[in-house]
Amino acid sequence: MFALVSILFASFLAPEVSAVIGGDLNCTVYNGTFFVWTPAAVQCQNTIADSSCAILYPTTDTLGLPAAGNNAGRPLACYTTATATPAAVVPDMKTAALANCPKTCGYCCNTDAYSCKNADFPRLNCATITNSQCNSPAWRTIIASDCPSACGFCGQGGCVDAVTNCGNDLSICQNIGMQDFVNNYCQKSCNRCPSTTTSAYGGVTGGSCSSYIADTTTQCAAWASNGFCTNNFYTYAQRRQRCATTCRLC
Ligand SMILES: *[C@@H]1O[C@H](CO)[C@@H](O)[C@H](O)[C@H]1NC(C)=O
Ligand SMILES: *[C@@H]1O[C@H](CO)[C@@H](O)[C@H](O)[C@H]1NC(C)=O
């Protein structure tokens, strides 16, 4: 009995002694057991060489540096001048880390390209978007409109090229035979972004009103959780006509 109790006690204590993300919990998500790094924590590049960051921000964690899904401790110098945990966040240290080594420090989600509001009712879970989704033609345009912060698409106005090399040859934008292609894959470079992109934000940007017309169906909450409010398959007018209140569409 005593052995059982001490095992329970030990496993209860385990999270305390294993790796714990230090400082603030920015760029982490609770996975049911631990706070772990989100993909967006490490999605960006350091602005100075990775090798320099490794020297400036050495890690003492056996798990190594922050990586998506692990709970490696944030290197101390990323957020504090103290030499042992727990340590209080020193804002200047965090600012310097953000400017130079956001990837090494797991602070990518706090950089400008990664910190903006996602859609109110995104069609996918913004917290679990992976690096390969950020680079995938099938995902990029949906992510840009619903979860811009997950891939560093903030400031793109909700619209990106679905493939990453449209800019190599902008003459394709004018080429008659390429119109289907550029309309699908080079919306940003060829200026094909739908002008309604802003309304994809569930009424946030169109939200100058303080009251909304009534929903016309009790299904709105369920539809909203399935992404109806931001689904460009329906026009803004159609979404507003059905679920103006739930979707907060002026
Ligand atoms: C992010 O960091 C800031 C300051 O470092 C802190 O005030 C804020 O509470 C943190 N947010 C989360 C979700 O941990
Ligand atoms: C939570 O993250 C920890 C550390 O990476 C991992 O060991 C654990 O299996 C994860 N738990 C769940 C439920 O995903």
Can you give 42-82 as a three-state secondary structure string? CCCCCCCCHHHHHHHCCCCCCCCCCCCCCCCCCCHHHCCCC
User: ∠223-224-226 over CA atoms, to 5°?
Assistant: 65
- Asked if residue 65 and residue 120 are part of one domain, the reply reads no
For residues 5-18, average pLDDT: 39
pLDDT winner (highest mean) among 22-31, 45-54, 119-128, 150-159:
45-54
Distance from the CA of 56 to the center of ligand 2, in angstroms?
29
Q: Which mutation among 31, 62, 63 tests ligand 2's pocket best, with the greatest number of atoms within 8 A of CB?
A: 31
Q: Which ligand is nearest to the CA of 97?
A: 1
163 with 221, same domain? no
Kindly give the number of the ligand 2 atom that is closest to the alpha carbon of 70. 5
pLDDT at 224: 83
Residue located nearest, by CA, to atom 6 of ligand 1: 24
Determine how many CB atoms are found less than 10 A away from the CB of residue 29: 17
CB 89 within 8 A of CB 98: no
2 located within any domain: no
Closest CA to 94 of 103, 84, 105, 82: 105
Looking at the structure, do residues 68 and 125 belong to the same domain, yes or no? no
**Would the CB of 19 count as within 6 Å of ligand 2?**
no
Residue among 20, 21, 26 to mutate when testing ligand 1 (max atoms within 8 A of CB) = 26
> For the chain, how far is it from start to end, CA to CA, in angstroms?
63
Structure-model confidence comparison of residues 193 and 15, the more confident one: 193
Residue nearest to atom 5 of ligand 1 (CA): 24
127 alpha carbon to ligand 1 midpoint, in Å?
16
Looking at the structure of the chain, the number of domains it has is: 3
Cis status, amide bond into 86, omega within 30 of 0: yes
Residue 123 domain flag:
yes
Q: Are residues 58 and 70 in the same domain?
A: yes
The CA distance from 28 to 36, in Å, is 5
Asked if residue 66 has pLDDT above 60, the reply is yes
Q: Whole-angstrom Cα distance, residue 134 to residue 131? A: 5
CA atoms within 13 A on the CB side of 55: 4
Which among 90, 110, 130 is the end of a domain? 110
Residue 13 scores a pLDDT above 70: no
Range of the domain at 77: 28-110
Which residue did the predictor score with more confidence, 14 or 131?
Answer: 131
Residue 205 lies in a domain: yes
Ligand 1 close to Cβ of residue 28 (< 6 A): no
Question: What confidence tens digit (pLDDT) does each residue in 129-185 have?
Answer: 998 999 999 999 999 999 999 999 998 888 999 998 899 999 999 999 999 999 999
Q: What is the pLDDT of residue 208?
A: 52
Establish if 231 belongs to a structural domain.
yes
Determine whether the shortest distance from the Cβ of 110 to ligand 1 is under 6 A.
no
Dist CA 91 CA 156 (whole Å): 28
Q: Strand pairing partners for 35?
A: 30
- Tell whether 1 is covered by a domain: no
Residues 32, 61: one domain? yes
Closest CA to 47 of 91, 92, 113: 113
pLDDT of amino acid 210: 65
Residue 221 lies inside a defined structural domain of this protein = yes
Ligand 1 mean position, distance from CA 231 (Å): 31
In whole angstroms, what is the distance from residue 56 CA to residue 224 CA?
A: 46
Q: How far is the CA of 152 from the centre of ligand 2 (A)?
A: 25
Residues of the chain by 3-state class (helix, strand, coil), percent to 5: 45, 0, 55
- 113 against 204, higher pLDDT: 113
Of 151, 168, 196, the domain-final residue: 196
CA of 165 to the centre of ligand 1 (A): 36
Measured in whole angstroms, how far is the alpha carbon of residue 213 from the centre of its chain? 32
User: Which residue from 124, 97, 115, 95 is spatially nearest to 40, judged by alpha carbons?
Assistant: 115
| Ligand 1 near 94 CB (within 6 A) | yes
Q: Are residues 41 and 94 in the same domain?
A: yes
For residue 14, is it within any domain? no
- The answer to whether position 229 is within a domain reads yes
Reading the block at residue 233, the tokens are 């398959």
Name the domain boundary from 196, 221, 241.
Answer: 196
Q: Nearest ligand to the C-alpha of residue 107?
A: 1
| Minimal-distance CA residue to ligand 2 atom 8 | 33
